[in-house]
Amino acid sequence: MKIVFATHNENKIKEVQKIVPEGIVLLSLKDIGCTEDIPETGNTLEENAIIKANYITNKYEYDCFADDTGLLVDALNGEPGVYSARYAGEQKNAEDNMDKLLSELKKHKNRTARFKTVIALNLNGKQELFTGAAEGEIIKEKKGDGGFGYDPVFKPTDYNQTFAELQLAVKNKISHRGKAIQLLISYLKK
Protein backbone atom coordinates (compact mmCIF):
# COMPACT_ATOMS: atom_id res chain seq x y z
CA MET A 1 0.00 0.00 0.00
CA LYS A 2 1.26 3.47 -0.92
CA ILE A 3 0.03 6.43 1.08
CA VAL A 4 1.03 10.08 1.24
CA PHE A 5 1.99 11.69 4.54
CA ALA A 6 0.90 15.29 3.92
CA THR A 7 3.75 17.16 5.55
CA HIS A 8 6.84 19.10 4.50
CA ASN A 9 8.41 18.42 7.91
CA GLU A 10 11.28 16.00 7.24
CA ASN A 11 11.62 15.26 10.97
CA LYS A 12 8.02 14.04 11.15
CA ILE A 13 8.55 11.85 8.08
CA LYS A 14 11.68 10.26 9.58
CA GLU A 15 9.92 9.64 12.88
CA VAL A 16 6.87 8.04 11.25
CA GLN A 17 8.89 5.93 8.80
CA LYS A 18 10.46 4.20 11.81
CA ILE A 19 7.00 3.15 13.01
CA VAL A 20 5.24 2.18 9.77
CA PRO A 21 5.44 -1.58 9.08
CA GLU A 22 6.71 -3.17 5.90
CA GLY A 23 4.06 -3.23 3.22
CA ILE A 24 3.11 0.40 3.74
CA VAL A 25 5.14 2.74 1.55
CA LEU A 26 5.14 6.30 2.82
CA LEU A 27 5.26 9.02 0.18
CA SER A 28 6.21 12.58 1.10
CA LEU A 29 4.74 15.72 -0.43
CA LYS A 30 8.03 16.10 -2.31
CA ASP A 31 7.51 12.60 -3.78
CA ILE A 32 4.18 13.66 -5.32
CA GLY A 33 5.44 17.05 -6.53
CA CYS A 34 3.63 19.16 -3.94
CA THR A 35 5.83 22.11 -3.04
CA GLU A 36 3.22 24.59 -1.84
CA ASP A 37 2.49 25.29 1.81
CA ILE A 38 -0.93 23.91 2.66
CA PRO A 39 -2.86 26.56 4.58
CA GLU A 40 -3.66 25.74 8.20
CA THR A 41 -6.68 27.97 8.74
CA GLY A 42 -8.61 25.81 11.20
CA ASN A 43 -9.36 26.76 14.79
CA THR A 44 -8.63 23.26 16.09
CA LEU A 45 -6.04 20.55 15.50
CA GLU A 46 -8.79 18.38 14.02
CA GLU A 47 -9.78 21.05 11.50
CA ASN A 48 -6.18 21.63 10.39
CA ALA A 49 -5.50 17.90 9.92
CA ILE A 50 -8.67 17.58 7.83
CA ILE A 51 -7.83 20.68 5.75
CA LYS A 52 -4.38 19.28 4.89
CA ALA A 53 -5.61 15.76 4.09
CA ASN A 54 -8.48 17.06 1.94
CA TYR A 55 -6.13 19.41 0.08
CA ILE A 56 -3.92 16.51 -1.04
CA THR A 57 -6.82 14.19 -1.85
CA ASN A 58 -8.68 16.86 -3.84
CA LYS A 59 -5.71 18.37 -5.68
CA TYR A 60 -3.45 15.34 -6.19
CA GLU A 61 -5.98 12.48 -5.94
CA TYR A 62 -3.93 10.41 -3.51
CA ASP A 63 -4.99 8.52 -0.44
CA CYS A 64 -3.21 10.30 2.35
CA PHE A 65 -3.02 11.24 5.97
CA ALA A 66 -2.14 14.53 7.59
CA ASP A 67 -1.51 15.46 11.16
CA ASP A 68 -1.66 18.55 13.27
CA THR A 69 0.01 18.73 16.63
CA GLY A 70 -0.28 21.20 19.44
CA LEU A 71 1.39 21.74 22.78
CA LEU A 72 -1.26 22.57 25.37
CA VAL A 73 0.08 24.25 28.51
CA ASP A 74 -2.32 24.38 31.45
CA ALA A 75 -1.00 27.62 32.98
CA LEU A 76 -1.39 29.34 29.59
CA ASN A 77 -5.01 28.21 29.11
CA GLY A 78 -4.03 25.65 26.48
CA GLU A 79 -1.65 27.86 24.54
CA PRO A 80 0.17 27.63 22.23
CA GLY A 81 -2.26 24.91 21.05
CA VAL A 82 -3.23 25.14 17.40
CA TYR A 83 -0.64 27.92 16.97
CA SER A 84 2.28 25.85 18.31
CA ALA A 85 4.36 25.94 15.11
CA ARG A 86 4.01 29.72 14.76
CA TYR A 87 3.79 30.69 18.44
CA ALA A 88 6.60 33.24 18.14
CA GLY A 89 5.72 34.29 14.58
CA GLU A 90 5.13 33.15 11.02
CA GLN A 91 8.80 32.17 10.61
CA LYS A 92 7.90 28.95 12.49
CA ASN A 93 11.24 28.87 14.31
CA ALA A 94 11.46 26.20 17.04
CA GLU A 95 14.09 28.08 19.08
CA ASP A 96 11.98 31.27 19.05
CA ASN A 97 8.89 29.29 20.01
CA MET A 98 10.64 27.61 22.96
CA ASP A 99 12.14 30.91 24.12
CA LYS A 100 8.72 32.56 24.08
CA LEU A 101 7.16 29.63 25.94
CA LEU A 102 9.84 29.61 28.64
CA SER A 103 9.48 33.38 29.04
CA GLU A 104 5.67 33.13 29.34
CA LEU A 105 6.01 30.42 32.02
CA LYS A 106 8.52 32.26 34.22
CA LYS A 107 5.75 33.62 36.45
CA HIS A 108 3.89 30.28 36.72
CA LYS A 109 4.49 27.40 39.12
CA ASN A 110 2.17 25.02 37.28
CA ARG A 111 4.12 23.73 34.29
CA THR A 112 1.90 20.77 33.34
CA ALA A 113 1.33 20.32 29.63
CA ARG A 114 0.40 17.80 27.02
CA PHE A 115 1.13 17.24 23.39
CA LYS A 116 -1.85 16.28 21.26
CA THR A 117 -1.73 14.96 17.71
CA VAL A 118 -4.72 14.48 15.46
CA ILE A 119 -4.36 12.50 12.23
CA ALA A 120 -6.90 12.74 9.43
CA LEU A 121 -6.82 9.77 7.06
CA ASN A 122 -8.44 9.91 3.63
CA LEU A 123 -8.61 6.36 2.27
CA ASN A 124 -10.88 4.93 -0.40
CA GLY A 125 -13.28 7.86 -0.22
CA LYS A 126 -13.67 7.71 3.56
CA GLN A 127 -12.19 9.87 6.30
CA GLU A 128 -11.12 8.72 9.76
CA LEU A 129 -9.55 10.64 12.66
CA PHE A 130 -7.01 9.29 15.15
CA THR A 131 -5.83 11.13 18.27
CA GLY A 132 -2.83 10.61 20.52
CA ALA A 133 -1.70 12.55 23.59
CA ALA A 134 1.36 12.63 25.84
CA GLU A 135 1.18 14.15 29.32
CA GLY A 136 4.13 15.88 30.92
CA GLU A 137 5.56 19.20 31.97
CA ILE A 138 7.60 22.07 30.60
CA ILE A 139 11.03 22.21 32.20
CA LYS A 140 12.85 25.50 32.87
CA GLU A 141 15.63 25.15 30.29
CA LYS A 142 16.24 23.27 27.07
CA LYS A 143 17.82 19.82 27.35
CA GLY A 144 18.85 17.39 24.62
CA ASP A 145 19.57 17.68 20.95
CA GLY A 146 17.29 15.01 19.52
CA GLY A 147 13.75 15.42 18.30
CA PHE A 148 12.38 18.72 17.06
CA GLY A 149 9.93 21.46 17.93
CA TYR A 150 9.34 21.74 21.68
CA ASP A 151 11.02 18.39 22.46
CA PRO A 152 13.94 19.96 24.42
CA VAL A 153 11.56 21.57 26.96
CA PHE A 154 8.94 18.80 27.30
CA LYS A 155 9.52 16.09 29.92
CA PRO A 156 6.94 13.30 29.67
CA THR A 157 5.30 12.01 32.85
CA ASP A 158 7.25 9.17 34.55
CA TYR A 159 10.48 10.04 32.68
CA ASN A 160 13.52 12.03 33.81
CA GLN A 161 14.49 13.03 30.29
CA THR A 162 12.94 15.35 27.73
CA PHE A 163 11.67 14.09 24.40
CA ALA A 164 14.90 15.54 22.94
CA GLU A 165 16.99 13.32 25.25
CA LEU A 166 15.07 10.07 24.80
CA GLN A 167 16.04 7.52 22.17
CA LEU A 168 13.72 7.72 19.17
CA ALA A 169 12.41 4.18 19.75
CA VAL A 170 11.34 5.14 23.28
CA LYS A 171 9.86 8.46 22.19
CA ASN A 172 7.87 6.76 19.41
CA LYS A 173 6.24 4.41 21.95
CA ILE A 174 5.12 7.11 24.37
CA SER A 175 4.69 10.23 22.24
CA HIS A 176 1.46 11.79 21.07
CA ARG A 177 2.37 11.23 17.43
CA GLY A 178 3.53 7.67 18.09
CA LYS A 179 0.21 6.83 19.75
CA ALA A 180 -1.84 8.40 16.95
CA ILE A 181 0.26 6.62 14.30
CA GLN A 182 -0.24 3.27 16.08
CA LEU A 183 -4.02 3.81 15.89
CA LEU A 184 -3.66 4.67 12.19
CA ILE A 185 -1.55 1.56 11.52
CA SER A 186 -4.03 -0.68 13.35
CA TYR A 187 -6.78 0.73 11.16
CA LEU A 188 -4.76 0.24 7.94
CA LYS A 189 -4.04 -3.40 8.86
CA LYS A 190 -7.76 -4.27 9.03
Per cent of the chain over pLDDT 70 is 100
Indicate the pLDDT class of residue 48, thresholds 50, 70 and 90.
very high
Over residues 17-26, mean pLDDT: 86
For residue 115, give the H/E element and its range: strand 112-123
Is 151 known to be catalytic?
Answer: no
Evaluate if residue 190 carries a pLDDT over 90. no
- Higher local confidence (pLDDT), 160 or 25: 160
What Å distances lie between residue 37 and 98, 105, 144, CA to CA?
23, 31, 29
How confident is the model at residue 131, as a pLDDT?
A: 98
pLDDT tens profile 78-104: 999 999 999 999 989 999 999 999 999
Boundaries of every domain in the chain: 2-189
Give the Cα separation of 119 and 111 in Å (integer): 26
Looking at the predicted structure, is the pLDDT value of residue 107 above 90? yes
Selecting among 63, 67, 68, 151, the annotated active-site residue is 68
Taking residue 1's Cβ as centre, other Cβ atoms within 10 Å add up to 11
- Of 149, 168, 176, 185, residue with least CA distance to 15: 168
Q: What pLDDT does 171 receive? A: 94
pLDDT reported for residue 173: 93
- Asked if 130 contacts 183 with a C-beta cutoff of 8 angstroms, the reply is yes
97 and 85 Cβ atoms separated by less than 8 Å:
yes
What is the reported pLDDT for 76?
Answer: 98
d(CA 73, CA 66): 23
- The CATH label, of 3.30.930.10, 3.40.50.300, 2.30.33.40, 3.90.950.10, for the domain at 2-189 is 3.90.950.10
The 8-class DSSP code of residue 146 comes to: S
